[in-house]
Amino acid sequence: MSSTSKIRVGVVGASGYGGLELLRLLSFHPDVQVTYAAGSQERDGTVADMYPFLSTYSHLQLEKYDVDRCADRCDAVFVALPSGASGAIAGQLHERGRLAIDLSGDLRLPADTYASWYQKPPVAPKVIAQAVYGLTEWNRNEIRGASLIANPGCYATAVLLGLLPAVKAKLAAPDRPLIVDAKSGVSGAGRSATLGGQLGELSDNFYPYRVGKHQHTPEIERYLAQFGLAEKSNEASHPPIVFTTQLLPAIRGIYASCYIPLGADVQVEQVVDIYRTTYEGEPFIRIHDPGKYPELKHVRGSNQTHIGLFVDNRTATLQVFSALDNLQKGAAGQALQNFNVAMGLDQTTGLSQLPIYP
C-alpha cells in the first residue's frame, strides 16, 4: 500500500498515556499514516520534540484540537481524552462521517447510569445509542463496519473476558454475587501529577481506591448481561458483582482475581475446555493449563489477555485470574484492534509485537 493510499488517522488526547501508546502502536501499522495529533492545550513543537521516545514523529505537530482540521485531515480518529470531554468529540467526528473510536467511558453506558456513576453530565443519548461497544471478542459482528465505537474500560475488559465464558455456561450459582478483586498499575490513572502517584508514595505501597463506587462496575454488569445471558435481558437481571479496585506499585497492567460461587460440581479441566472453546481462534487470548496462572509480565507491552482457572472444591468456588496490559488490550491496543475490524483489516495488524520481558 503506498503512502498516499494509507488510511489517514488522528489521535486526539495525544499527550495522555492512551494517546502516546496509540502513537507508538500506529507507528508499526503498515496501512495507516498518522496525520493529526492534538491535545486540549496549545503546544509548540512536534511529537518527537516533546516525547523523545516517539522519534519517528519528527514531522507531526502537536496541535490544540480543532474539529474542522481534524475531520479534514483524517479518515479515522481515536479520541483518548478524559471522560466528560472525550465522548462529545467522538460524536462530533462521527457526525462528520469519520470513524471515531472513543477510549473514555462516555459512550459505554445509558445516560442515566453514566450520570450517577461518573457524576458528570452525559453525552446526548442519541450519540450513546449509536456507539457500538468495542469488546472485540464478544461483539465483533457489530464492530465490523461500525463508525462510532465505545472502547471498553481497562478493568472492564479484563473482568468481562475473564467472567463471560463462565457466566454464559451458567456455571455460577444464581443469586450470589461474583467477587472481583482487581489491581492496576499506576498508568491506569492517566498521565498527570498526583501526590499519591509519586514513586516515593506508591513504591512499596498498595491500597484500594473508589471502594464501592468505581465507574466500571455498571459497565461490567451491563455487558455481562448483554453478552452472557441467553436472551437480551434488562439490566436488573445481570449477575451482581462486588468490584474492588486497588493500586499496584507497578507501571502497567490489570490483574483481576475473580471468585464465582459454583452452582454445580465441575472440574477445572471442564472449565478450561469451556474457556478454550469460547475463545478458539482468538489470537489475543490465552487460556492457561490447569495449575498455571497468568503473570502481569507475560502480557506487558502486548495486546494479550492471559486467563488462568482454578476450582476450589473445598468451597465450590471457581477462581478466574485475568491479566492484561491496561494501555494495550485495556485501551490503545484494543482500540487499534477495533479499528482494524471496523476497517475490514486483519485484526492483528500492527499488534503482533510480543510482550517486553523482563
User: What residues act catalytically?
Assistant: 154
Which residue lies nearer to a second copy by CB, 212 or 344? 212
Cα–Cα nearest to 164, from 137, 188, 145, 185: 137
The interface with a second copy within residues 174-193 (CB under 8 A) comprises 176-177, 179, 181, 183, 185-187, 191-193
Short-list 328, 345, 324, CA closest to 158: 324
CB 351 within 8 A of CB 304: no
- Could you tell me the smallest distance in angstroms from the CB atom of residue 188 to a second copy? 9
- Contact between 27 and a second copy by CB under 8 A: the answer reads yes
Footprint on residues 221-240 left by a second copy (CB under 8 A): 240
The correct pick among 46, 169, 293, 349 for binding a second copy (CB under 8 A) is 293
Per DSSP, 195 falls in state S
* d(C-alpha 331, C-alpha 66), whole Å: 23
Q: Within 13 Å, how many C-alpha atoms sit on residue 180's CB side? A: 32
Q: CB of 163 within 8 A of CB of 256?
A: no
Q: How many angstroms separate the CA atoms of 244 and 179, rounded?
A: 8
User: Residue 324: beta bridge partners?
Assistant: 254, 305
Reference 10, options 95, 100, 92; nearest CA is 100
CB 120, min distance to a second copy, A = 21
Residue placing its CB nearer to a second copy in the complex, 165 or 253: 253
- By CB under 8 A, the residues from 262 to 281 that bind a second copy are none
Out of 211, 233, 273, 346, the residue judged to bind a second copy by CB under 8 A = 211
**With CB under 8 A as the contact rule, which of the stretches 133-141, 163-171, 172-180, 274-282 interacts with a second copy?**
172-180
User: Binding to a second copy by residue 214, rule CB under 8 A?
Assistant: no
Size of the site for a second copy (CB under 8 A): 85
- Residues in contact with 42: Cβ distance below 8 Å, sequence separation at least 6, in sequence order: 64
- Applying CB under 8 A, does 344 fall inside the site for a second copy? no
Looking at 32-40, 68-76, 152-160, 243-251, which segment touches a second copy (CB under 8 A)?
Answer: 243-251
Using CB under 8 A as the binding rule, whether residue 84 contacts a second copy is answered as: no
Contacts to a second copy from residues 297-326, by CB under 8 A? 297-302, 304, 306, 308, 310, 312, 314-317, 319, 321, 323
Identify which of 281, 266, 275 has the alpha carbon closest to the alpha carbon of residue 322: 275
When the beta carbons of 203 and 233 are compared against a second copy, the nearer one is: 203
Nearer to a second copy, 118 or 310 (CB): 310
Cell numbers 472453546 correspond to 277
- Identify the residue among 5, 126, 174, 195 touching a second copy (CB under 8 A): 195
50 is a contact residue toward a second copy (CB under 8 A): no
C-alpha cell at 180: 472481583
If binding is defined by CB under 8 A, does position 141 make contact with a second copy? Answer: no
- Best CA proximity match to 212, nearest among 180, 176, 255: 180
Residue given cell 475490524 in the structure block? 341
Q: Residue 286 interacts with a second copy (CB under 8 A)?
A: yes
